[in-house]
Amino acid sequence: MNWDAADFDWNQARAFLATAEEGSLSAAARALNVTQPTLSRQVSALEEKLGVTLFERGTRVMTLTVAGLELQHHVRAMHDAAMRVSLSASGQSQTIAGTVRIASTHNMACYHLPKVLAKIRRTAPDIQVEVTTANELTDLIQREADISIRHARPTQPELIAKLIRTTTATLMASKAYLDRVGRPKTLDDLNKLDFLGFLNAETLMPALNGHGLKLTTANFPVVSDSGPVSLELARRGLGVGLLMPDDAGYFPELEQVWPAFPPMEIPIWLVTHRELHTSKRIRLVFDLIAEGLS
């Protein structure tokens, strides 16, 4: 093997790939948590080492040259290989110490994870837990998290998923709101109410209309991308929310809007990477979460 042929700095290659993927030096610097001048020097050093120009430099964006486009393909393959090495090494770790990153929805993190985290702290005090909240699916393959709590089963073969349980979501509103507008007795009554949108009005509308309602965007005067915010809006009488009784049960001022409206099933999946599942600390946290949320 010719070891001298591949002697360029991986940090320089990583800086190049981040700039190519993010589109600008400033965005790449933020993604890698380095200063922009440092990143610029690394990219320039790689160009000098290889003897090619990788970017056409604009005032705000960096455009790949033909040579840069070809190199991007190879460096991305290097990055993916490095991620697999990292996953394999993490999976072989048998110490019950270190960091475990958990990705969760906002509501799960607010109302259900704290009691589980307390047990994790008692059981394994040398484990540090990082909780990130997002409604998008976190990419476990790219190590954005070690464990993810999702409402949809993943399809990637690299991931292990365990169905913890299935809960439900139903229409909930504050007693004060229903006192003001009247408690509905028919589907037509429901169509006259204000509903709290999630992400945008179209997110919930098809599912609700699939149960016989005839809602339009006019029924969704307030929209939020946060579960806790939606709960608070419902508590303050802003409208009807599609909420899980597990969450709404913390707030006695909320009540079911119309018992005849059928609840919607919501699965809760616990997911990790197949290789990470062999790590003793991640397996321990995985099992404690499964036990605590089931």
Q: Which domains does the chain have, with CATH numbers?
A: 3-92 (1.10.10.10), 98-157+268-293 (3.40.190.10), 167-266 (3.40.190.10)
Q: Which of 294, 283, 15 is nearest to 166 (CA)?
A: 294
Task: Determine the Cα angle at 41 with ends 38 and 45, to 5°.
Answer: 140
The number of CA neighbours under 13 Å toward the Cβ of 274 is: 7
Q: Which of 213, 207, 174, 171 is nearest to 191 (CA)?
A: 213
Q: Which of 193, 196, 215 is nearest to 205 (CA)?
A: 215
Q: How far apart are CA 293 and CA 29, in angstroms?
A: 38
pLDDT in tens, the chain (294 residues): 444 555 667 888 888 888 888 888 888 888 888 888 888 898 888 888 888 888 888 767 788 888 888 888 888 888 777 666 665 555 555 567 888 999 998 989 999 999 999 999 998 899 999 998 876 656 655 667 889 898 888 888 888 889 999 999 999 999 999 999 999 999 999 999 999 988 777 888 998 999 899 999 999 999 998 889 999 999 999 999 999 888 888 899 999 999 888 898 989 999 888 766 568 888 889 989 998 988
Distance between start and end Cα atoms, the chain: 53
pLDDT score recorded for residue 233: 95
Count of beta carbons in the 10 Å neighbourhood of residue 91:
19
pLDDT score recorded for residue 140: 58
Q: How far apart are CA 102 and CA 138, in angstroms?
A: 10
Q: How far apart are CA 90 and CA 279, in angstroms?
A: 6
pLDDT score recorded for residue 95: 63
- Give exposure, 47-82, as e/b (b: 16+ Cβ within 10 Å): beeeeeebbeeeeeebebeeebeebbeebeeebeee
Helices 113-123, 280-293: axis angle to 10 degrees equals: 140
Q: Are 245 and 57 in contact (CB under 8 A)?
A: no
Q: Are 288 and 159 in contact (CB under 8 A)?
A: no
Six-digit token string for 125: 């005090």
Radius of gyration of the chain (CA): 25
Cα dihedral sign, 206-208-214-217: negative
Name residues whose C-beta falls within 8 Å of residue 73's C-beta, 6 or more positions apart in sequence. Answer: none
